Chains A and B, each alone.
Chain A
Amino acid sequence: MVHFDLFVAFFRSGMLGYGGGPSSIPLVYKEVVETFKWMDDEEFADVLALGNALPGPINTKMAGYIGYRVAGKIGMLNAILSSILPTIILMIILLTSLSAFKDQPWVAGMSRGVVPVVAMMMITLTWDFFSKSKDSLGWGYSIVLTVVSFILLIMLDLHPAILIFVLLLAAVLKRDKKSSAQKGGN
Chain B
Amino acid sequence: MIYWQIFLAFFVPGILGYGGGPASIPLVENEVVGRYGWLTVKEFGEVLAMGNALPGPIATKMAGYIGYQMGGIMGSIVAVIATVAPSLILMIVLLQLLLKYKDSPKVKRMSQYVRPTIAVLLGMMAYKFVDNGIEGIGVIQTIALIGASYLFMEKWKFHPSLVILAALAYGAIFLS
Contact = CB atoms under 8 A, between A and B. Distances in A.
Interface of A: 12, 14-27, 30, 42, 45-52, 54-61, 64-65, 68-69, 76, 80, 83-84, 86-88, 90-92, 94-95, 99, 101-102, 104-126, 129-130, 132-133, 136-137, 142, 145-146, 149-150, 153-154, 159-161, 163-164, 167-168, 170-172, 174, 176, 178-179
Main secondary structure of the interface of A (DSSP, over half): helix
B40 interface: no
Contacts of A161: 18
Contacts of B16: 55
Contact of B161 (A12, A102, A121, A150): A12
Contacts of A23: 129
B7 interface: no
B34 interface: no
Given A55-B18, A122-B125, A126-B126, A84 B64 contact: yes
Give the 9 A-B residue pairs with the shortest CB-CB distance, closest first.
A113-B171, A56-B87, A109-B176, A87-B56, A88-B64, A122-B126, A116-B145, A119-B129, A21-B57
B59 A170 contact: no
A88 B50 CA distance: 11
Given A19-B132, A54-B90, A167 B117 contact: yes
Contact of B112 (A26, A65, A113, A136): A136
Contact of B116 (A52, A58, A105, A149): A149
Interface string B88-106: 1011101100110000011
Contact of B175 (A59, A109, A129, A170): A109
B55 A18 contact: yes
Please indicate which of the listed interface residues A57, A106, A145 has the most CB atoms of chain B within 10 Å of its own CB. A57
A57 B20 contact: yes
Nearest to B112: A136
